[in-house]
Structures are given as C-alpha cells and as structure tokens.
Amino acid sequence: DTEVTQTPKHLVMGMTNKKSLKCEQHMGHRAMYWYKQKAKKPPELMFVYSYEKLSINESVPSRFSPECPNSSLLNLHLHALQPEDSALYLCASSQIGERENIQYFGAGTRLSVL
C-alpha cells in the first residue's frame, strides 16, 4: 500500500479565515513533505519533516504553518492567505535511509482563496 491521504480535496476560504489541510500515511515513512503547485507549473517544495522535526523550510511565508503531530500525520495550518496562494497543495511521504527515497504523493487539496 502506497497511499497518502489528503483532506479536504477542495477548500474555498476567504482571506480572513483560518483553515487546516491534513495529510496521513500508514506506510511507516519518517519523512513527510508539503509542496505547492500552481496551474501549469511544477510542484515547488515548501516544507520537509524528518522524524517529526521540521528540517527544511523553503522560505515560506508565516501565513503557512506546518505541524507534524506524529509520524503518520502532517498538517498545514492556513491563516490570512492571499488570492495568489490559490493552488494545489500536495503532501508526500518517503522512507529515510534508502538510496532512492521514493516520494509518494497524495491526491492533493485544491485551495481557492477569495
């Protein structure tokens, strides 16, 4: 089973709202990732968690706040977003220590900020 589950699938929010995206995997992976993908662009890395600790933050604005409550869960808390933050948000997970470290992606959350 290589399933990464993301909820919700779609989210519409206003610029003053607070919402959270959720990602879950049960493959025993110890690395989890958030990527942002705008239309007709490739995914761009936002955050990496390694053993439940934030290891990479790609200079993401503070209105995006990641959280890794345990090794299976990854959240992305959203606050005061801008319309340009509308995008597909992808979660991925992988093993640590293997040469290839394949990242498996969830189906994504399509976010619209009004």
Partner 1 sequence: QKEVEQNSGPLSVPEGAIASLNCTYSDRGSQSFFWYRQYSGKSPELIMFIYSNGDKEDGRFTAQLNKASQYVSLLIRDSQPSDSATYLCAVKHSGGGADGLTFGKGTHLIIQP
Q: Using CB under 8 A, list all residues that contact partner 1.
A: 30-31, 33, 35, 41-45, 48-50, 55-56, 58, 88, 90, 94, 96-108
Q: How far is the CB of 102 from partner 1 (least distance, A)?
A: 6
| 4-7 sheet: strands from edge to edge | 4-7, 18-25, 73-79, 64-70
Closest residue by Cα to residue 111 from 22, 10, 40: 10
| Cβ distance to partner 1 smaller for residue 73 or 80 | 73
Q: How far is the CB of 38 from partner 1 (least distance, A)?
A: 12
Q: How far is the CB of 112 from partner 1 (least distance, A)?
A: 14
| Cβ distance to partner 1 smaller for residue 16 or 40 | 40
Four-point Cα dihedral 54, 60, 63, 65, nearest 10: -10
| Cβ distance to partner 1 smaller for residue 60 or 80 | 60
- Region of residue 52 (left: phi > 0; alpha: psi -120 to 50; beta: else): left
**Identity of residue 23:** C
